[in-house]
Amino acid sequence: MLWSGLATIRIIYLQLKGRRRMAQIEWKQEFSVGNTAIDDEHEHLIEQINQLYYELDHSADSATIEAMLADIQAAISTHFALEELLMQEAEFAEFEEHREDHQHLLDQIHDMIFSFNEDPDSGRELLINKVSDWFSHHFTSFDARLHEQLD
């Protein structure tokens, strides 16, 4: 009786733990900004971040996490360059503030990569706690305001 009770608690704990860490961001059609190239890149970035969470949750080795972070950093740099080009062409009113927030996000991922390289254990916790918000905040505020502005 006691053992089956403990087993049940353990299963619930693992389920809650899994729910907390897995699939942190879910792509929804309402996130579309109405530009195919930007939407495809957003979807791909979300997949990359979710894959990073999956690997963190399954204790992937540091080399794997480092390679994934490098891919995310490269993909987001390219993505920001495209968004900035399209905003400039469209003479988008919020261009300067939006570009400044991109720069801030690039500084932040640079710092997260640096922290992970310095100390992988606390770097992992930092990533688990921050990567989702790092991406989502800009995505649901600045990028959401691009909706239907870039065609």
Which positions touch Fe ion (CB under 5 A)?
A: 83, 143
Query: Which CB sits closer to Fe ion, 83 or 86?
Result: 83
Query: Which CB sits closer to Fe ion, 20 or 137?
Result: 137
Query: Which CB sits closer to Fe ion, 105 or 112?
Result: 105
Q: How far is the CB of 5 from Fe ion (least distance, A)?
A: 48
- Distance, in Å, from the CA atom of 20 to the CA atom of 74, rounded to the nearest integer, reads 27
Q: Could you write out the three-class secondary structure of the chain?
A: CHHHHHHHHHHHHHHHHHHHHCCCCCCCHHHCCCCHHHHHHHHHHHHHHHHHHHHHHCCCCHHHHHHHHHHHHHHHHHHHHHHHHHHHHCCCCCHHHHHHHHHHHHHHHHHHHHHHHHCHHHHHHHHHHHHHHHHHHHHHCCHHHHCCCCC
Query: Which CB sits closer to Fe ion, 64 or 149?
Result: 149
Q: How far is the CB of 125 from Fe ion (least distance, A)?
A: 26
Q: How far is the CB of 138 from Fe ion (least distance, A)?
A: 6
Q: How far is the CB of 77 from Fe ion (least distance, A)?
A: 12
Q: How far is the CB of 53 from Fe ion (least distance, A)?
A: 19
Query: Which CB sits closer to Fe ion, 52 or 102?
Result: 102
69: how many CB neighbours lie within 10 A of its CB?
20
Residue in the shown chain whose Cβ atom is closest to Fe ion: 143
